[in-house]
Amino acid sequence: MRDNLQAMGAEQRHTFTATFERTGYKTKDVRYATYYQPTLLVNDVTDEQGKVLTDHLWFNYTLGFQKLGHLEKGDRLQFDGRITTYTKGYQGWDAELSAEHPIETDYKIERPTKIKLLGVCEERPPLPKDNWDLVQQIMDENAAFYQARDAQVATERAAREAAKLEKAKQEFREEKRREEAERAAEEAAAQAEGRAYRFARFSVTVMPQPYCNERGDLVWPRDRTPREYSRYRVVDRIDGRVLADNHGHGYLNGPKALRAYQKQLRQDEETRLTQEWLEKQPSDLLWAWVQAAQVSEPMLTAGQLRVQMKQRVAKAIGNPLTEQASDISFDAFFRNWWRQIRDALGQIISKRRHEFLAAQPPELPTAWFQEAVAAGVQRDDRQQYVLTKMTEYISGLSLEQQVPPTDGLLRRWQKLARRATRQGRRRN
């Protein structure tokens, strides 16, 4: 970093002196077109007291410099300018070049004015007025430099590519050695534990995906090249058949793949033992309990019935269930048993709800809503007020007429009320 320039500050303009080295140019691609900008390089930049501020600086070849005519190497220039910051470093996709030339902030002199050529009395030859003609002259004057530079760049690029290729080959060999060692260790562990399965590594190709930036815009990454990642799955030790691979996505490591597959095996075994136990029980036992609960408490919903039945089943059969299936968790057992009657219970509750709505006056929800408005109930609390009124109304009916007072029932009742209102308007 140019600390001497930083120390001068950017509050005011200063006078500087420098030695002309050579001209150059830079390019900029804008909408499929390349624009050329002439530049010049100066060395040994000093302030008014002769203190060296930096060893070199680049400037745009502006009209202020062009008016001096054709400059020669070693010419002394004087100019005024202001200190400012700029960003330098490699901003491409090459990781090695980014490491060699990291992005950082440095200091420069901008907007040079009052440009003078010191110690020269004779008038210098004028420069071409057209920008492209000036660029062509710069290219011709520095042809040897650019040829040598291009040759050096090509040599360095070839050396980098060769180094990358050799590094990739070395990494591939190391990866294969690690994979073989990992496979041998897993095979030995599976044999020692008596497992018929083991984890194996495979490659997954991942396409780059867009992401949201700080402003919430969906942007794509610069590098859209598909990338390969190593993942793990569980295979059969004998025939290599895939047993678990997380729907083709794989797992991050071998132990995680084994844990996932072993969990799946436990669940399958639990389901099998549960099913065997259920086949030995009376098929209508739980259904009889549910029907008895509906008769005594008809306002219970399906969810409330499930909680009540779970408690009753646990009390009736105990935990563990039997000596033969002692490792079955009670939750898995009850889940499988409840699944057998769930659909039938839903059909019965739906039928009772339909019969209830057909027997009730459709205008009741509207009357309860108007009552809530008259009572000054807040807008957000009116639906809850109507639901409470409906619950009180249903609890006052006989047990044969009662149904679970849910939000779904209230919405259906209100829908019937709106339909009856529209029909009445049509008759009028």
Q: How do 104-118 and 197-206 pair as beta strands?
A: unpaired
Average pLDDT score over the chain: 85
Residue 15 has pLDDT above 70, yes or no: yes
Q: 169-185 pLDDT, tens per residue? A: 898 888 888 888 888 88
Q: 382-410 pLDDT, tens per residue? A: 889 989 998 998 888 888 888 888 888 88
Looking at residue 326, what is its pLDDT? 47
Looking at residue 282, what is its pLDDT? 67
Q: Backbone phi, then psi, for 92, in 5-degree steps? A: -95, -160
Q: 86-145 pLDDT, tens per residue? A: 888 888 777 777 888 888 888 898 999 999 998 888 888 899 989 999 999 999 999 999
Containing 150, the helix (H) or strand (E) segment is helix 143-193
DSSP string computed for 75-98 = -EEEEEEEEEEEEES--SS-HHHH
- Amino acid identity of residue 379, one-letter, is R
Q: DSSP character for 47?
A: -
Residue 358 has pLDDT above 90, yes or no: no
Assign 428 a pLDDT band (cuts: 50, 70, 90).
low
Q: Please name which of 16, 13, 81 lies closest in space to residue 50, comparing C-alpha atoms.
A: 16
Assign 320 a pLDDT band (cuts: 50, 70, 90).
very low
Q: Report the pLDDT averaged over residues 203-208.
A: 83
Cα–Cα dist 84/64, whole Å: 19
Residue 188 has pLDDT above 60, yes or no: yes
Q: 29-50 pLDDT, tens per residue? A: 877 788 899 999 999 999 888 8
Which is higher by pLDDT, 280 or 322? 280
Residue 323 has pLDDT above 60, yes or no: no
Looking at residue 283, what is its pLDDT? 61
- Amino acid identity of residue 73, one-letter, is K
Residue 325 has pLDDT above 50, yes or no: no
Assign 225 a pLDDT band (cuts: 50, 70, 90).
confident
Residue 412 has pLDDT above 70, yes or no: yes
Asked if 40 and 71 touch (Cβ cutoff 8 Å), the reply is yes
- Provide, rounded to the nearest whole percent, the portion of the chain with pLDDT above 70: 94
How many Cα atoms occupy the beta-carbon half-sphere of 65 within 13 Å? 24
Looking at residue 209, what is its pLDDT? 83
Looking at residue 329, what is its pLDDT? 66
Q: Report the pLDDT averaged over residues 251-262.
A: 89
35 DSSP β-pair partners: 28
Looking at residue 423, what is its pLDDT? 76
Looking at residue 201, what is its pLDDT? 87
Residue 290 has pLDDT above 50, yes or no: yes
Looking at residue 303, what is its pLDDT? 85
Return the minimum-mean-pLDDT range out of 13-17, 47-51, 292-296: 292-296
How many Cα atoms occupy the beta-carbon half-sphere of 24 within 13 Å? 15
Residue 321 has pLDDT above 50, yes or no: no
Which pTM value belongs to this model?
Answer: 0.47
